Chains A and B, each alone.
Chain A
Amino acid sequence: QVQLQESGPGLVKPSETLSLICTVSGFSISSGYYWGWIRQPPGKGLEWIGNIYHSGSTYSNPSLKSRLTISVDTSKNQFSLKLTSVTAADTAVYYCARHHTSGSYALDYWGQGTLVTVSS
């Protein structure tokens, strides 16, 4: 069974870099699919951040692209997120998920999510 688990600091200071890792088990990242990040501010809706293929090719939300880096480590079966120059508006539950590679690019397996708070 495919499982995803987010990990990283729960508190980040304004202007610093938010870094998260998603560890995948039960499925090899190298076998295909895109692997994505999604966030949800407290009490609000879902916002797609971006995704990555095992080859390293990425798609990103245009509104975050200038601050965003998504990378993959197939040897560890992990992919990661870095978001620079964070503000309070980046406070959210961050999810990692597996993406279909066609159709609606649906997200069929999700991690449990991790709350990241941006505060001094």
Chain B
Amino acid sequence: SYELTQPPSVSVSPGQTASITCSGDKLGDTYACWYQQKPGQSPVLVISQDSRRPSGIPERFSGSNSGNTATLTISGTQAMDEADYYCQAWDSSTVIFGGGTKLTVL
């Protein structure tokens, strides 16, 4: 079955750029999206179709997808961005989630 692999944790200093990767076989041949989940809350879609920002998502969130890796980039990271982030793709008529990455802003 298809798998998406994310680093368990990423740390970033306030104001710096955070990059979270999501790896899967030929992931660039399909679309990836990203969710942010804060403790006790439902996930929020922050990037769809590789790089589209839904309404209300700050411009500092961006995405890319090429080869075997999709990347979520947060520019000028703020303390409020500290959360778990999940990538997701569609493969063989099923939704696949990555294992999640805990972003720490310190």
With contacts A104-B48, A106-B48, A106-B49 known, is A47 near B42, CB below 8 A? no
| Closest A residue by C-beta to B95 | A48
Bound together, the chains give a CA A100 to CA B45 distance in angstroms of: 11
| Closest A residue by C-beta to B50 | A104
With contacts A59-B94, A104-B30, A106-B45 known, is A45 near B89, CB below 8 A? no
Contact B88 A106 (CB under 8 A): yes
Range for the number of chain A residues in contact with chain B: 20 to 34
- The answer to the question of A79 belonging to the interface, with a C-beta cut-off of 8 Å to chain B, is no
With contacts A45-B97, A62-B1, A104-B89 known, is A110 near B43, CB below 8 A? yes
Give the residues in chain A near B96, CB-CB below 8 Å. Answer: 48
Contact B86 A45 (CB under 8 A): yes
Give the residues in chain B near A105, CB-CB below 8 Å. Answer: 90, 95
Q: B residues engaging A (CB < 8 A)? A: 1, 30-33, 35, 37, 42-45, 48-50, 54, 86, 88-90, 93-100
- 28 cross-chain CB contacts under 8 A: A36-B95, A38-B95, A45-B98, A45-B100, A46-B86, A46-B88, A46-B97, A46-B100, A48-B96, A59-B94, A60-B94, A61-B95, A95-B42, A103-B33, A104-B30, A104-B33, A104-B50, A104-B88, A104-B89, A106-B33, A106-B45, A107-B35, A107-B43, A107-B45, A107-B88, A110-B43, A110-B44, A111-B42
